[in-house]
Amino acid sequence: MAKKSAKTPARPALQLGHRVRAPSSPETAKLDRVPNPHADTDYLVRFVAPEFTTLCPITGQPDFAHLVIDYAPGQWLVESKSLKLYLGSFRNHGGFHEACTLDIGKRVAKEIKPKWLRIGGYWYPRGGMPIDVFWQTGKLPGGLWVPDQGVAPYRARG
**Among all residues, which ones are annotated catalytic?**
56, 63
Burial 137-157 (b: 16+ CB within 10 A, else e): beebeeeeeeeebebeeeeee
**How many C-beta atoms surround the C-beta of residue 59 within 10 A?**
11
Cβ atoms of residues 45 and 73 within 8 Å: yes
Integer Cα distance of 108 and 102 in angstroms? 10
Integer Cα distance of 69 and 125 in angstroms? 21
Cβ atoms of residues 149 and 120 within 8 Å: yes
Would you state the torsion angle of the CA atoms of residues 95, 96, 100, 101, taken in this order, to the nearest 10 degrees? 170
Q: Report which of 83, 123, 79, 82 is spatially closest to residue 100, judged by C-alpha positions.
A: 123
